[in-house]
C-alpha cells in the first residue's frame, strides 16, 4: 500500500524564466565570445542575461558598445561617469552602456 | 485622449540594435526575395529612395557606403512584441495597429503633462528595446496619427507632438496633404482632389452631408475625428483571424509544374503550422499562382479552391488538396513569379462539428503526429521533419543573401559580446625582419 498523491499540495514546478527574467520586454540573451581574460569574472561561452531596463551603478557588470563592438565589463563611478577602471574619457574613446548583466549562466 | 506610438524606420532600427558598428551608418532592409528597399534608416533616407531595387544600389553596397539586409521577419516580430510589452507599462489600453504602430488609450490624464508623458514613453522604449519611436497625442485616433507624423518630420519636436499644444492647429492642417489622413488611400485621395479637397484642413471643413453621401459613414467619421470628436474607439482585442495566407515570390521565374508544386507544398506546410499554433482549422483552402505584373506580355493568374470536410489543419491532408489545386491552376508556357496559399473559413479546433458525409478520421493519432512534427521542427530547425512533397533542394526558393541573425529567438544566433580588456599602449618597436 502506497501513500496517496496529495492533490491539494501540488504546486507549479520551478520556472527558471520566471526566476531570472524580471522584465521580459527588456531582457536579452547574449553569448560571450573570444579569449579568456585573466582576472575576469566572465569567461568565453558564458550566457549573459542583459536587462536594458536596469540602471547601471558603481560596480555594475554591464554590456556596453565600445569602438563598435559589444563588450562586457565592470564599470566604476569616476568623476560622475560610469567607466571601466583606468579609463580616460576623451582619449580612450566613447562607451555607451546598453544594459546591466542581471545573471550569468555557465555550463560546468 | 489617444497616443499613437510609431517606430521609426522599424525594420532598419531592428537590424541596428545588436550592431553598434552600424551606429550612424546608412542601413536599408530589402523586401522578401531581396527585391527592393522597404525600410531605410534616417542616414539611408538621404542616400536612396524608397522602393529602390537592390540592383540600383549595389554599387553603394560594394563600396561599403550602404548596409543592406534581407528581411528578417522573426526578429522584427519579436522586437515588435517587446515594444508592445513596454507600452503596456504606460496604459492599460494598448491596441497594436500594425507591426510598428500602436494606439494607447490615455483616459484620465490631465492635459498639462501629456507631452512629458510622451517623452517618457519614447525614452523608455528606446532604453528597454533599442527601438526609436515617435509619439503623437490628440483627442482622436485620426489626429494622433497626424501628430505622430508631424513628430517624425520635425526634428525640433524631439519625437513627441501633443496636437492640443499647437498654437494654430488649423494652419498646420492646411499644410498637410489630405492623402496623409488615416484611412485615405490613393483612390480616396484622387476622389477628394477631384472635389477640390487637397489639404487636411479642407477635409475637416468639408460639408458633412456631401462627405456622407460620397464616402459613407466611415468618411463622415474621419471628418468628425479631424474636428476632435472621437468616433473610432480603442480596440484592444485583436480582431479574430479570418484567414491565413502564405505568399512568397520565387527566387527566379519558374516554368515547371514540379517546382510550383514543391513551393506550394512548402507554403502549405507553413500555413498548416500557423493554423495549429493558433488552434484553428480551415474549412476552405485556395492555391493561387501568377506571373510577374511587370511584364507586358504573357501574363497569367489562376486560383483554385476546395472545401474541406471536415475542416482540418493536418499538413498531409492540406498538401494532398493543395497539389491537386496547383495542378488545376497550372498552365504550361508561362513564367511564374509567385504562389500563394490561403486558408479561410477558420474555426477554433474545439468548435468543429462532425461531418455527416465524410468518413471519420482518427484525429487523435493525426494530432499527435502533427504535434510531434511541430515540436521536432521547433527544437531542431525548420523543416527538420517534412513531407516529401516539399523537395530536398528547392531551386525556386527565395533569395535572401543579406540575412542577419535571429538575435532574440534562436540560441545559435544570439548577439555575441567580448570581454573588455584595457588596450595596452602599442609598442613603438619596429617589427624585426626574419633572419635568413
Q: Does A72 contact B421 at a Cβ distance shorter than 8 Å?
A: no
With a cut of 90, say whether residue B371 has pLDDT above it. no
Of B82, B127, B419, the CB nearest to A32: B419
Of A28, A47, A70, the CB nearest to B408: A28
Q: What residues of chain A have any CB closer than 8 angstroms to a CB in chain B?
A: 23-26, 28-37, 40, 42-44, 47-48, 52-53, 63-66, 68-73, 84-86, 92, 96, 98
Does B23 share its domain with B103? yes
Residue A12 in domain: no
Residue A15 in domain: no
B147-166 core/surface letters (b: 16 or more CB in 10 A; e: else) = bbbbbbeeeebebbbbbbee
Cell of B368: 499527435
Which ipTM score applies to this complex? 0.89
Give chain A positions within 8 Å (CB) of B86. Answer: 25-26
With a cut of 90, say whether residue B238 has pLDDT above it. no
- Kindly state the average pLDDT of the residues B90-100: 91
Residue A7 in domain: no
Residue B375 C-alpha from the chain's centroid: 26
Q: What is the CATH number of the domain that holds A27?
A: 2.10.109.10
Q: How far apart are CA B160 and CA B158, in angstroms?
A: 6
Does B102 share its domain with B180? no
Does B25 share its domain with B79? yes
Q: How far is B414 from chain A (nearest CA, A)?
A: 5
Give chain A positions within 8 Å (CB) of B423. Answer: 92
**B211 vs B236, which has greater pLDDT?**
B211
Give chain B positions within 8 Å (CB) of A28. Answer: 407-408, 415
With a cut of 60, say whether residue B432 has pLDDT above it. no
Three-state DSSP state, A63: strand
Residue B316 in domain: yes
Beta strands in B84-145 (DSSP E): 94-98, 101-105, 133-138
- Which domain covers residue B214, as residue numbers? 169-226
- Kindly state the average pLDDT of the residues B166-179: 92
Rounded to the nearest 10 degrees, the angle between the axes of helix B363-379 and helix B315-329 is: 90
With a cut of 90, say whether residue B396 has pLDDT above it. no
Does B146 share its domain with B174? no
Residue A27 in domain: yes
Three-state DSSP state, B100: coil
Bridge-based pairing state of the strands A27-33 and A47-51? antiparallel
Q: How confident is the model at residue B178 (pLDDT cuts 50, 70, 90)?
A: very high
- Kindly state the average pLDDT of the residues B122-135: 97
Does B133 share its domain with B32? yes
pLDDT for position A20: 94
- Kindly state the average pLDDT of the residues B187-196: 92
Residue B403 in domain: no
**B231 vs B396, which has greater pLDDT?**
B231
Does B81 share its domain with B66? yes
With a cut of 70, say whether residue B236 has pLDDT above it. no
Q: How confident is the model at residue B234 (pLDDT cuts 50, 70, 90)?
A: confident
Residue B423 in domain: no
Does B161 share its domain with B287? no
- Kindly state the average pLDDT of the residues B103-113: 80
With a cut of 60, say whether residue B428 has pLDDT above it. no
Q: Does B422 contact A31 at a Cβ distance shorter than 8 Å?
A: no
Q: Does A70 contact B415 at a Cβ distance shorter than 8 Å?
A: yes
DSSP letter for each residue of A80-107: TEEE-TT--TTTS--EEEEEEEEEEE--
Domain boundary pick from B350, B370, B390: B390
With a cut of 60, say whether residue B107 has pLDDT above it. yes
Q: Does B86 contact A43 at a Cβ distance shorter than 8 Å?
A: no
Q: How far apart are CA B411 and CA B378, in angstroms?
A: 12
Of B83, B407, B420, the CB nearest to A66: B420
Residue B84 in domain: yes
What is the percentage of chain B residues whose pLDDT exceeds 90? 57
**B296 vs B200, which has greater pLDDT?**
B200
Q: How far apart are CA B114 and CA B136, in angstroms?
A: 10
**B32 vs B337, which has greater pLDDT?**
B337
pLDDT for position B158: 92
Q: How confident is the model at residue B430 (pLDDT cuts 50, 70, 90)?
A: very low
The pLDDT tens digits for B305-359 are 999 988 899 999 999 999 999 999 999 989 898 899 999 988 888 776 666 666 6
Beta strands in B89-164 (DSSP E): 94-98, 101-105, 133-138, 160-162
Does B173 share its domain with B121? no
Number of domains in chain B: 3
Q: How far is A74 from chain B (nearest CA, A)?
A: 9
Would an 8 Å CB–CB cutoff place B392 in contact with chain A?
no
Q: How far apart are CA B18 and CA A50, in angstroms?
A: 12
With a cut of 50, say whether residue B427 has pLDDT above it. no
Domain boundary pick from B141, B165, B189: B165
The pLDDT tens digits for B398-414 are 667 788 889 998 888 99
Residue A11 in domain: no
Where is average pLDDT lowest: B288-292, B341-345, B423-427? B423-427
pLDDT for position B325: 94
Cell of A55: 540602471
Residue B390 C-alpha from the chain's centroid: 26
pLDDT for position B251: 81
Does B189 share its domain with B217? yes
Q: Does B85 contact A86 at a Cβ distance shorter than 8 Å?
A: no
Does B273 share its domain with B301? yes
List Cα–Cα distances, B100 to B13, B15, B69, B112, B132, in angstroms.
11, 14, 18, 27, 11
Q: How far is B82 from chain A (nearest CA, A)?
A: 4
Q: What is the CATH number of the domain that holds B86?
A: 3.30.70.270
Residue A59 in domain: yes
- Kindly state the average pLDDT of the residues B9-21: 96
- Which domain covers residue A81, as residue numbers? 22-105
With a cut of 50, say whether residue B435 has pLDDT above it. no
Q: Does A32 contact B20 at a Cβ distance shorter than 8 Å?
A: no
pLDDT for position B200: 95
pLDDT for position A91: 65
Q: Does A44 contact B20 at a Cβ distance shorter than 8 Å?
A: no
List Cα–Cα distances, B111 to A86, B107, B234, B309, in angstroms.
48, 10, 19, 56
The pLDDT tens digits for B255-277 are 899 999 999 999 999 999 989 98
Residue A9 in domain: no
Domain boundary pick from B371, B390, B409: B390
Of A69, A84, A92, the CB nearest to B418: A69
Residue B88 in domain: yes
Three-state DSSP state, B99: coil
Q: How far is B174 from chain A (nearest CA, A)?
A: 40
**In sequence order, what are the residues at sequence separation of 6 or more whose Cβ sits closer than 8 angstroms to the Cβ of residue B389?**
B261, B262, B265, B319, B323
Number of domains in chain A: 1
Residue A65 in domain: yes
Is-contact A51 A26, C-beta < 8 A? Answer: yes
Q: How confident is the model at residue B3 (pLDDT cuts 50, 70, 90)?
A: very high
Residue B235 in domain: no
Residue B395 in domain: no
Q: Does B414 contact A73 at a Cβ distance shorter than 8 Å?
A: no
Q: Does A72 contact B422 at a Cβ distance shorter than 8 Å?
A: no
Q: What is the CATH number of the domain that holds B215?
A: 1.10.150.20
pLDDT for position A34: 85
Q: How far is A5 from chain B (nearest CA, A)?
A: 28
User: Vertex B188, ends B200 and B148: CA angle to 5°?
Assistant: 45
Q: How confident is the model at residue A79 (pLDDT cuts 50, 70, 90)?
A: confident
Give chain B positions within 8 Å (CB) of A40. Answer: 419
Q: How far apart are CA A23 and CA B296, in angstroms?
A: 54
With a cut of 60, say whether residue B420 has pLDDT above it. yes
Does B158 share its domain with B257? no
Three-state DSSP state, B8: coil
- Kindly state the average pLDDT of the residues A45-49: 95
Does B190 share its domain with B220? yes
The pLDDT tens digits for B243-253 are 899 988 888 88
pLDDT for position B204: 94
Q: How many CB pairs (< 8 A) connect A and B? A: 91
Give chain B positions within 8 Å (CB) of A92. Answer: 423
Which range, B128-132, B339-343, B385-389, has the best average confidence (pLDDT)? B128-132
Q: In sequence order, what are the beta bridge partners of B287?
A: B304, B341
Amino acid at each position: 500500500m502506497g501513500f496517496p498523491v496529495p492533490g491539494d499540495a501540488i504546486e507549479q514546478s520551478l520556472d527558471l524564466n520566471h526566476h531570472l527574467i524580471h522584465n521580459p520586454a527588456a531582457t536579452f540573451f547574449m553569448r560571450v565570445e573570444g579569449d579568456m581574460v585573466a582576472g575576469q569574472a566572465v569567461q568565453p561561452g558564458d550566457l549573459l542575461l542583459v536587462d536594458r531596463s536596469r540602471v547601471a551603478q558603481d560596480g555594475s557588470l554591464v554590456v556596453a558598445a565600445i569602438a563598435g563592438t559589444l563588450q562586457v565589463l565592470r564599470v566604476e563611478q569616476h568623476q560622475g561617469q560610469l567607466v571601466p577602471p583606468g579609463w580616460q574619457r576623451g582619449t580612450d574613446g566613447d562607451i555607451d552602456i546598453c544594459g546591466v548583466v542581471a545573471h550569468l549562466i555557465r555550463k560546468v | 485622449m489617444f497616443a499613437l506610438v510609431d517606430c521609426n524606420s522599424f525594420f532598419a532600427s531592428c537590424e541596428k540594435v545588436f550592431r553598434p558598428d552600424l551606429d550612424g551608418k546608412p542601413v536599408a532592409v530589402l523586401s522578401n526575395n531581396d527585391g527592393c528597399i522597404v525600410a531605410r534608416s534616417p542616414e539611408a533616407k538621404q542616400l536612396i529612395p524608397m522602393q529602390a531595387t537592390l540592383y540600383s544600389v549595389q554599387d553603394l553596397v560594394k563600396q561599403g557606403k550602404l548596409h543592406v539586409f534581407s528581411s528578417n521577419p522573426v526578429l522584427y516580430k519579436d522586437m515588435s512584441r517587446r515594444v508592445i510589452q513596454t507600452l503596456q507599462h504606460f496604459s492599460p489600453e494598448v491596441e497594436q495597429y500594425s507591426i510598428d504602430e500602436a494606439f494607447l488609450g490615455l483616459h484620465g490624464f490631465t492635459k498639462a503633462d501629456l507631452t512629458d508623458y510622451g517623452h517618457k514613453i519614447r525614452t523608455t522604449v528606446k532604453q528597454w528595446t533599442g527601438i526609436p519611436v515617435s509619439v503623437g497625442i490628440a483627442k482622436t485616433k485620426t489626429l494622433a496619427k497626424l501628430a505622430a507624423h508631424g513628430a517624425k518630420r520635425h526634428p525640433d519636436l524631439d519625437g513627441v507632438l501633443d496636437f492640443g499644444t499647437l498654437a494654430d492647429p488649423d494652419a498646420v492642417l492646411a499644410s498637410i496633404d489630405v492623402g496623409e489622413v488615416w484611412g485615405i488611400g490613393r483612390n480616396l485621395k484622387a476622389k477628394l482632389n477631384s472635389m477640390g479637397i487637397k489639404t487636411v484642413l479642407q477635409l475637416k471643413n468639408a460639408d458633412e452631408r456631401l462627405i456622407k453621401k460620397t464616402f459613407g459613414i466611415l468618411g463622415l467619421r474621419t471628418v468628425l475625428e479631424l474636428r476632435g470628436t472621437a468616433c473610432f474607439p480603442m480596440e484592444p482585442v485583436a480582431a479574430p483571424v479570418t484567414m491565413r495566407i502564405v505568399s512568397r515570390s520565387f527566387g527566379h521565374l519558374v516554368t515547371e509544374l514540379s517546382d510550383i508544386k514543391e513551393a506550394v507544398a512548402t507554403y502549405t506546410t507553413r500555413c498548416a503550422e500557423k493554423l495549429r499554433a493558433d488552434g484553428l482549422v480551415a474549412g476552405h483552402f485556395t492555391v493561387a499562382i501568377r506571373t510577374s505584373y511587370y511584364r507586358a506580355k504573357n501574363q497569367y493568374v489562376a486560383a483554385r479552391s476546395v472545401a474541406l470536410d471536415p475542416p482540418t489543419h493536418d499538413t498531409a491532408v492540406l498538401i494532398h488538396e493543395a497539389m491537386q489545386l496547383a495542378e488545376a491552376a497550372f498552365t504550361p508556357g508561362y513564367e511564374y513569379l509567385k504562389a500563394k496559399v490561403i486558408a479561410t473559413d477558420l474555426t477554433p479546433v474545439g468548435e468543429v462539428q462532425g461531418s455527416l458525409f465524410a468518413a471519420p478520421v482518427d484525429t487523435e493519432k493525426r494530432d499527435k503526429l502533427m504535434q510531434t512534427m511541430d515540436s521536432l521542427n521547433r527544437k531542431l530547425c525548420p523543416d527538420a521533419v517534412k513531407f516529401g512533397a516539399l523537395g530536398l533542394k528547392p531551386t525556386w526558393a527565395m533569395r535572401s543573401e543579406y540575412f542577419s541573425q535571429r538575435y532574440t529567438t534562436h540560441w545559435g544566433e544570439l548577439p555575441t559580446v567580448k570581454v573588455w580588456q584595457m588596450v595596452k599602449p602599442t609598442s613603438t618597436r619596429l617589427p624585426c625582419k626574419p633572419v635568413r
